[in-house]
Structure 1
Amino acid sequence: MLEVEQQYPVGEVRIAVGYGACKDIFVHGADMVGVMTPPSRTAHFNHIDSINQLKEMYALFFSAGSAAERYVANETLFNELLAAAEAVPSSYSALGGNAPVMASRFAKEGAKVLLAAKRSPYIMEKIHPSIIVGGVETEGAEDIHLIMEYKAGENWGSYRAPRANRFILHSDDSNPTLSSVETIDEQLATFDPHLFVVGGLQMMDNFPFAPGIRDERLIAVKNQMISLSPSTRIHFEMASFTDTELLSGLIEHIIPYVDSLGMNEQELPNLYSMMKFGNVSLVSDFNPRVAVVLDQMRDIFRQLQMTPGERGQRRLTRLHLHTLAYQAIMVQKDSTWTNSLAAATKAALTANRHVCGNSEISLEHAKMLMDEGFTLSEADGAGRILFDNHRPVSCWTEGDGKIEVCIAPVLICTSVRHTAGGGDNISAAGLILQV
């Protein structure tokens, strides 16, 4: 896999990334929620107003091993949680948000990057020096996210985590309104990116907007995408959404205008459920079978390849699923997305490097969840691909040769340094070799 990765150096590409940025406070969940009495039940809430709601929802996602990000409506509670986290000796801060994390990965790989985010002192201090930050100057308070991480096998009362993951809390005011959309219009036009990445829209999830404002902000993003040259490809990075109205808004205003989608094992069934049945899937299998996700990917791909009906709409030509055990990339063969095998390979290697916090792959601190092979579909008579140690990344064509699919196994890091930002780094690593 390392040999494949090294065969594809990154060329001179320009990538614009939106929206927003924040300061992340990392803390071990066991030092926060874990010291509290476990709740007698698990429960889901659209936003958090009390410690009891936090405990019940943390227990829900902790026991499922699923990532979650929720808005804390009670600002006093959020500030108390932040103070408690910062008092933990092992806690630390880092630049956060989907857009800055993906932008940083692109820059590390050699791309020229424009980031749509506020130019606050913390962001300008922490951002990769080559990145152009296109937002407004601000001296105001930072938007802060609290990231509580846990490891596989951790226990909290009767609850047990099946895999390492994180639970994120925020109480932002500016990031949910996508305040940096309009501030980069002029720079975006002159920058003329090869790729435009849209992320951070989960900040709008369950945020208390005035009536009609959220749709207005989504339409502003749509208009920005429509303003781009048809030669600029557009990627939308999914996230954890629970608000049905917001997800419906994304399906109406955002997803029909992109060429590529990136998502994890929780976000894929959520989008699939919303598009097919009109409802949200809150918790999903943390290690789904390849056959299951391939069928869901095919269904979404078919629906989003229908003939565009509105100005600026695009047909989906790329879909990247990143899971704990494997990477799956599906592309339209006659599209401009190339190097799918190398992209899936690089994404899989980046998953290990990011979680372990080490640029070198250590087999001593790695394991695989994929077995000796996988079935191509849940349909009767579907073929099966066997795992080959000498050619671990499997690629094939289907749909009369019009679709290419690649599956790359992940060497799962067993010495976890951090999980937050994993999907953003993985998705960016996959994109960088296909632009």
Structure 2
Amino acid sequence: MALWRGSAYAGFLALAVGCVLLLEPQLPGSALRSLWSSLQLAPAPPGPGSPEGRLAAAWDALIVRPARRWRRVAVGVNACVDVVLSGVKLLEALGLSPGNGKDHTILHSRNDLEEAFIHFMGKGVAAERFFSDEEAFHDIAQIASELPRSPALCRRKCSFNWTEICSQLRFKGEEWGRLKAPHANRFIFSHDLSNGAMNMLEVFVSSLEEFQPDLVVLSGLHMMEGQSKELQRKRLLEVVTSISDIPTGIPVHLELASMTNRELMRSIVHQQVFPAVTSLGLNEQELLFLSQAASGPHSSLSSWNGVPDVGMVSDILFWILKEHGRSKSRASDLTRIHFHTLVYHILATVDGHWANQLAAVAAGARVAGTQACATETIDASRVSLRAPREFMTSHSEAGSRIVIDPSRPVAEWHREGVSFHFTPVLVCKDPIRTVGLGDAISAEGLFYSEARPHY
């Protein structure tokens, strides 16, 4: 009935406009356009009954605080002053013109910066690169400091040394020449030798005895890409020793970031870093690169084709925990991985070591929407549900098919002692904040997670 009523209204309105044209043919075109636009029937904005509204309400019901909460959390080690601004405006201020995109593992010049930015802007994916030329970097940073900047949405205030600068270039629906960013995201580049050498790690770890945290959160291993291979190997062994000095019983979460050095990533995976930490946080680029570097599942893929396949992601997460996680035959602390991509998140845990993960994965996905839209709660009219509505849980073995219902948004499955929790993300249509989303997602997931005492 509502459909017929709407069609009838539309017909009457069209007839009315036709009569006006017949009786007043000299009526100005602007007046006609104004009249027609005021009469058009617009679809109702998404509300509580929309898939987005139902999913947000279901999250609110599912997200409960754990029985045992963290009292103190120690956060280190990667620290810098962020300069957040439009990437296109910076490149224009540098006198650069739109050209062809090309990835560079290390940036040596302005042209390298331009090509790498275009490469990742065209894909709409986040990335981070080291800029090797100190003088050229500081020239660029000086120009950047004179441009209008966004609020530093990801100021890392645990820094001991404020001389290091991270330039974070946003691309949010921006166009440059014929190129338009398909998604809002950011490209980070820095010349950060202090963090690259992780100079304050030992000081940080030594302070834990007095601080007595319940949880330690680490990041910054990716910054070592700017160091020589010899220093990387030496420092990585010292990192493992320092992490091992953290008192037994305190979970350690390691947040990964964009990397290009496969040898360094292999060393992180194999040289006891993974077994020394309890939890990992990473996105789709970092997950695939990790698998490529360590010859894991689906490592023959050069890149994801659009939305990462859930079954493939699940296979890689399972492989990490089975090959490098805790088991009866392996002395490893690794029992948890929080994976996040634009349209969905997965929490994978070794059974028996974590609780409240259903709430944790939902909380991480919820904060992705509120943080990006800069709202306190999910506004159903400003977000969209883009996750696959059904998927296979594996491609390496006979997985099961799962169909997502917005009213029951967290799917759960199990595989040989590993539990998976999946939930869609309500993607902000017009994001205001794109910097620091991964940090916020992992932090929220950890806040709602409960590590069992024997973890």
Q: 1:381 Cα deviation (Å)? A: 4.6
Counterpart of 2:7 in structure 1 is: none
User: Structure 2 residue aligned with 1:378, among 376, 395, 404?
Assistant: 395
2:405 matches 1:346: no
Tell me whether 229-238 or 422-431 shows the greater mean CA deviation: 229-238
Counterpart of 1:255 in structure 2 is: 274
TM-score, with normalisation over the residues of structure 2? 0.79
RMSD of aligned residue pairs (Cα, Å):
2.5
Q: Provide closer, same or farther for how the CA distance between residues 395 and 380 of structure 1 changes in structure 2, counting only shifts above 3 A.
A: closer
Q: 1:5 Cα deviation (Å)? A: 1.9
User: Would you say the 8 A contact 2:76–2:204 is kept in 1?
Assistant: no
Q: 1:91-114, CA deviations, whole angstroms, 9 ceiling, x for partnerless residues? A: 4445534xx5xxxxxxxxxxxxxx
Counterpart of 2:252 in structure 1 is: 234
Q: Provide closer, same or farther for how the CA distance between residues 229 and 280 of structure 1 changes in structure 2, counting only shifts above 3 A.
A: farther
1:62-101 maps to which residues of 2 (within 5 A)?
A: 62-93=121-152, 96-97=155-156, 100=157
Tell me how far apart the structure 2 counterparts of residues 220 and 281 of structure 1 sit (CA, whole Å).
Answer: 33
User: Structure 2 residue aligned with 1:37, among 97, 108, 117?
Assistant: 97
Tell me how far apart the structure 1 counterparts of residues 362 and 121 of structure 2 sit (CA, whole Å).
Answer: 29
Aligned residue type for 2:127: A
Aligned residue type for 1:218: L
2:359 matches 1:304: no
Tell me how far apart the structure 1 counterparts of residues 300 and 73 of structure 2 sit (CA, whole Å).
Answer: 31
Counterpart of 1:330 in structure 2 is: 348
Q: Secondary structure at the match of 1:367?
A: strand
Counterpart of 1:124 in structure 2 is: none
Counterpart of 1:431 in structure 2 is: 446
Q: Provide closer, same or farther for how the CA distance between residues 90 and 96 of structure 1 changes in structure 2, counting only shifts above 3 A.
A: closer
Q: Provide closer, same or farther for how the CA distance between residues 409 and 34 of structure 1 changes in structure 2, counting only shifts above 3 A.
A: farther
User: Structure 2 residue aligned with 1:360, among 374, 377, 394?
Assistant: 377
Tell me how far apart the structure 1 counterparts of residues 220 and 327 of structure 2 sit (CA, whole Å).
Answer: 28
Q: 1:238 Cα deviation (Å)? A: 1.0
Q: Provide closer, same or farther for how the CA distance between residues 297 and 4 of structure 1 changes in structure 2, counting only shifts above 3 A.
A: same
Q: Secondary structure at the match of 1:96?
A: coil
2:377 matches 1:317: no
Q: 1:239 Cα deviation (Å)? A: 0.7
Tell me how far apart the structure 1 counterparts of residues 362 and 368 of structure 2 sit (CA, whole Å).
Answer: 10
Aligned residue type for 1:68: A
Q: 1:330 Cα deviation (Å)? A: 0.8
1:271-282 maps to which residues of 2 (within 5 A)?
A: 271-276=290-295
Tell me how far apart the structure 1 counterparts of residues 387 and 153 of structure 2 sit (CA, whole Å).
Answer: 32
Q: 1:308 Cα deviation (Å)? A: 9.1
User: Structure 1 residue aligned with 2:167, among 121, 146, 151?
Assistant: 146
Q: 1:10 Cα deviation (Å)? A: 7.4
Tell me how far apart the structure 2 counterparts of residues 403 and 380 of structure 1 sit (CA, whole Å).
Answer: 15
Counterpart of 2:410 in structure 1 is: 393
Tell me how far apart the structure 2 counterparts of residues 426 and 157 of structure 1 sit (CA, whole Å).
Answer: 33
Aligned residue type for 1:256: P
Q: Whose helix fraction is larger, Structure 1's or Structure 2's?
A: 2
TM-score, with normalisation over the residues of structure 1? 0.82
Tell me how far apart the structure 1 counterparts of residues 196 and 329 of structure 2 sit (CA, whole Å).
Answer: 29
Tell me how far apart the structure 2 counterparts of residues 94 and 331 of structure 1 sit (CA, whole Å).
Answer: 30
Tell me how far apart the structure 2 counterparts of residues 63 and 275 of structure 1 sit (CA, whole Å).
Answer: 27
User: Structure 2 residue aligned with 1:172, among 192, 215, 225?
Assistant: 192
Q: 1:380 Cα deviation (Å)? A: 6.6
Tell me how far apart the structure 1 counterparts of residues 60 and 438 of structure 2 sit (CA, whole Å).
Answer: 20
Unaligned 5+ segments in structure 2 are 1-58, 451-455
User: Structure 1 residue aligned with 2:181, among 147, 155, 161?
Assistant: 161
Aligned residue type for 1:363: A
- Identity across matched positions, percent: 29
Tell me how far apart the structure 1 counterparts of residues 327 and 398 of structure 2 sit (CA, whole Å).
Answer: 31
